[in-house]
Amino acid sequence: MADRWGLPAFLGLWMAACAPTATLAPDGAPTWMGTEPTMYRLDAEIPDDPAITALMQPYASRLRVSMDMVIAVVPYDITKAKPEGLLGNLTADMVRNEAIARSGHDVDAAVLNNGGLRVPLNLGPVTVGRVYELMPFDNSLVILGLSGTQLIRLADELAAFGGEPVSGIRFRIEDGKATDLLVGVEAVDPERIYRVATHNFLADGGGDFPTLWTPVSREDHPVMMREIFIRSLILNPTPQPRLEGRIR
């Protein structure tokens, strides 16, 4: 079970197995079978239980080894910023490349959010654990089909927010609107359908970009953002993103 699930899943199973059983009263409220539940205060004054510690130790040790594995070394601080940042450029490019590889089709753009990038990559080694800190959420890859009209609207939403991580598109922010919008090196065709990679949080109604919520088409791919990032770093262990004027 440890090899398949690891410590978090094991703890979830253990807690579920130890939880008291409940039935529903006529009014829908849970009624605990047996005696009334006793509430315990959990703080630093409660000593470790040697038996539980011994039970968890093999899983904790294996998890620690995995999290401490160095997968890349960055040559300078890679941080997020607005309207454009190194970390956002790096992540958006990784997601777009993964979307192309998984779908087998061109993907015109990628759009992410700075809020999903929780920590920078500082000069030096990058561990698996650091990537989990960077991307702690279980966000998975989604490829949306957006009309050119929708893409223009999405660019305006990004501009109103001061810019967010993008790949494959570029524009200027002027009076809170996107101007000179390009996909690659071409102006947007309002009638064309563009393929845009993002993650399920933004596509499912999270964030501040409602255009992503009503796409023409949608493909869901069962891969987490952090898995994409880890694999990309293993393949390119010395990333050197640059500021390119994607949003300016």
How far is residue 90 from each of residues 15, 24, 105, 112, measured CA to CA in Å?
Answer: 39, 51, 21, 11
Query: Is 194 contained in some domain?
Result: yes
Residue 173's nearest CA partner among 245, 247, 109, 110 is 247
**The two three-digit tokens of residue 163, written as one number:** 């810019």
Query: Is 54 contained in some domain?
Result: no
* pLDDT above 70 coverage of the chain, percent: 84
Q: What is the mean pLDDT of the segment spanning 235-242?
A: 98
How far is residue 122 from each of residues 8, 85, 125, 142, 197, measured CA to CA in Å?
Answer: 27, 14, 8, 28, 26
> Domain with 184 in it: what CATH number?
3.90.780.10
pLDDT tens track for 203-232: 999 999 999 999 999 999 999 999 999 999
Asked if residues 137 and 200 have their Cβ atoms less than 8 Å apart, the reply is no
> Given this model, what pLDDT does residue 61 score?
64
Residue 230's nearest CA partner among 164, 134, 109 is 134
pLDDT tens track for 125-161: 999 999 999 999 999 999 999 999 999 999 999 999 9
| Count of domains observed in the chain | 1
What range does the domain containing 148 cover? 70-235
Where does the pLDDT of residue 119 fall: very low under 50, low under 70, confident under 90, or very high at 90 and above?
A: very high
Query: Is 109 contained in some domain?
Result: yes
Residue with tokens 């160095």: 70
> Given this model, what pLDDT does residue 173 score?
98
> Given this model, what pLDDT does residue 101 score?
98
